[in-house]
Chain A
């Protein structure tokens, strides 16, 4: 459904993505991982057409995304970015902004259907109870849930999330990724998520794309990508990879400097 072909974009001489190839199937849950500054967010921006490709292209359903109107793209793809929303905005008004791509010409006020969909999305994310509060009055975990509700209100086919779990406690990390996983199953959403935490990525994603300095190092299922050789190469950090005793998924353990001298092998 989403195809990135030989994509090169960014700023010449400064940071750029080079020759990215990635195919995302409909209903897939794919994670983008990589060190800070490796181009994860840039890749998300390119997929939504915010960043123009200098070479190559991004296809959505076989059509070049730069040729699709922003409005149509907004109906196809919803983005939960890292930028904090305005604190003095009402939660319900914020979620209703997600209905914007579906507004008719000259429609200025949400209609009954928009309101119903917004409420359904808030119910699905368990945020309906504070719809009358301001965004500055809810916790950062709740704000993230509200952002997901807004994205869902766009009724997209693909959901892109940029580090949805950063700065959150483990309760909210699991809540949010569980929610995304449930939504994906229920709505057959295609999910592309940038994650910092390798273990969360390995746990939830069906496939992982590992970026290294603007290039795609490898794409594959978590067991294939999260090996200590690959991680040590890309992150330049010594790690040990073992299987999670419950899920059997790969789990990355850090090796602190003080342990290295004794030589754990």
Chain B
């Protein structure tokens, strides 16, 4: 037991160190040329210099948002993969991202962003995500018990439907609205509104701590739903709570930062290979490394081809996909060698 706690703390410390390192790296790098060596003097000189303003008003908010979105998507992926006992499940494959994107597109077209408060996009995103989740849930619930395989297929179908609907929305919308939607869907962590960033950070941290309370029940669910029930777990209630949490996290992330694929799939999968399948360490490890991964990808996105800024979704897709293929191949090779 003591060995296990030590192991957990060691991993959390190492990944926190990684996260801090990536964040500092990201603070110090950028097109405006506040270099790494200047970072400390700038901090000591205080708030009046333009460099200070670049670091704290432009780069830091972005890093905080990347932290929140990366962490949120990763733990949403962990929760969903744990529940479905399927490593291919993530907010994107279940149609939750699509639902959120549809909600935000609808809000964009209806002009809610101009007429109402800044919260209209996150709220419509979460609403879209919850609507999809509810649809998926009740469609498969009709047959009595909530069976995971049916849920998965329904989710994939709803994902198709909502992406078609987004295209429909774009087809009937005015050109400038369409540009807005396309730009937003490609994904960017540029967010001028600091209130939204604070909300995202707070939500992701709260959700992380709540989900950690479910970690043992997620471990039990790995044995199968019947087995979890015979261990005294309220399976239906646990699944509902996790679904709602994953939907809210995804809806919020998508509405602020657009569709950023692969984080929710690759990070939990990678962490499972590294720290093991125990959710008591998998959840914090995924949160920390997902945050670090997205901060890193966003830093690449804004510095790789200055003055242009690439959509962060492109970087996560390419980098995450390559990492994933590499890891899978390595695993297959090891398995082959092991069997010889």
Contacts and interface: CB of A to CB of B under 8 A. Distances in A.
A140 interface: no
Nearest to A69: B232
B222 interface: yes
Contacts of B234: 70
A152 to B, nearest CB: 13
Contacts of A181: none
A165 to B, nearest CB: 19
A204 B234 CA distance: 35
Contact of A108 (B215, B220, B229, B233): B215
B278 interface: yes
Interface stretch (A56-64, A87-95, A185-193): A87-95
B226 interface: yes
A97 B5 CA distance: 17
Contact of B278 (A72, A74, A93, A154): A93
A115 B226 contact: no
B219 interface: yes
B10 to A, nearest CB: 15
Interface in A39-70: 45, 48, 50, 69-70
A110 interface: yes
B323 interface: no
Contacts of A86: 85, 222-223, 277
Contacts of B276: 88, 90
A4 interface: no
A259 interface: no
A112 B1 contact: yes
Interface string B33-70: 00000000000000000000000000000000000000
Across chains A and B, which 9 residue pairs bring their CB atoms closest together, nearest first? Answer: A74-B232, A71-B232, A101-B232, A79-B230, A100-B231, A70-B232, A83-B224, A86-B222, A115-B1
Given A48-B229, A86-B223, A109-B280, 6 more contacts: A45-B226, A69-B232, A77-B230, A89-B222, A94-B223, A106-B213
